[in-house]
């Protein structure tokens, strides 16, 4: 059995439909620091992160704490939206009803063979939780920034152990 900790990145300095790749704001940096501190008593774990700046900056707190680099993996990035204007991205996300993109993120998690931290995004966490629970909804939970959703990988299955802290989200 392998435990996978999905960490939602800290609060970004701009919204998904207003800036392509925002970093963290002050609150987000604090959330990233708190997320890392929750693992301070543990032996260092591998850290996988989305390539997007807000996720990389969140993962950086783990890198500093454990003095080892995170691995960047495009497969745990937010939903791809190439070719869309920023205004179109927000409306597209709100109207999203298909989950073709989620299989890539799920497959990346199923490849993990040791306890690992994965810093990712609201929609990726929702995709994984809904798939694990055989839930057809696009959004099945509201993980707040810096929250930790815990999964167990047993064979080729992912089981949700605990969904991270929930709250209102500005994503949708």
The verdict on residue 127 lying in a domain is yes
Whichever domain contains 131, its CATH number is 3.40.50.1240
Average pLDDT over residues 50-70: 97
Q: Print the domain residue range for 48.
A: 2-79+88-154
According to the model, what pLDDT value does residue 38 have?
97
Report the predicted TM-score, pTM, of the whole model to 2 decimal places.
0.88
Q: Which of 96, 165, 155 lies closest to 127 in space, CA to CA?
A: 96
For 50-83, b where at least 16 C-beta lie within 10 A, e where not — what string? bebbbbbbbbbbbbebbeeebebbebbbbbebee
The verdict on residue 160 lying in a domain is no
- The answer to whether 133 and 20 have CB atoms below 8 angstroms apart is no
The verdict on residue 6 lying in a domain is yes
The domain tally of the chain equals 1
Q: Which of 13, 32, 60 lies closest to 145 in space, CA to CA?
A: 32
- Residue range 28-41, pLDDT digits in tens: 999 999 999 999 99
The verdict on residue 69 lying in a domain is yes
The verdict on residue 60 lying in a domain is yes
The verdict on residue 165 lying in a domain is no
The verdict on residue 161 lying in a domain is no
Q: Which of 102, 172, 107, 95 lies closest to 130 in space, CA to CA?
A: 102
- Residue range 83-140, pLDDT digits in tens: 667 666 666 555 554 456 778 889 999 999 999 999 999 989 999 999 999 998 878 9
According to the model, what pLDDT value does residue 11 have?
96
Q: Which of 22, 111, 9, 112 lies closest to 62 in space, CA to CA?
A: 9
The verdict on residue 133 lying in a domain is yes
């Amino acid at each position: 059995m392998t435990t996978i900790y999905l960490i939602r990145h800290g609060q970004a300095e701009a919204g998904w439909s207003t800036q392509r790749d925002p970093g963290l704001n002050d609150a987000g940096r604090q959330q990233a620091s708190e997320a890392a501190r929750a693992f301070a008593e543990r032996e260092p774990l591998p850290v996988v992160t989305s390539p997007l700046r807000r996720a990389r900056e969140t993962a950086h707190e783990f890198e500093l704490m454990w003095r080892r680099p995170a691995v960047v993996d495009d497969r745990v990035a937010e939903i791809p939206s190439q070719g869309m204007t920023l205004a179109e991205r927000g409306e597209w996300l709100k109207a999203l009803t298909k989950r073709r993109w989620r299989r890539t993120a799920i497959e990346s998690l199923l490849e993990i063979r040791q306890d690992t931290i994965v810093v990712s995004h609201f929609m990726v966490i929702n995709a994984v939780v809904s798939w694990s629970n055989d839930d057809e909804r696009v959004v099945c939970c509201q993980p707040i920034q810096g929250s930790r959703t815990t999964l167990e990988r047993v064979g080729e299955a992912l089981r949700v152990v605990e969904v991270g802290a929930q709250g209102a989200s500005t994503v949708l």
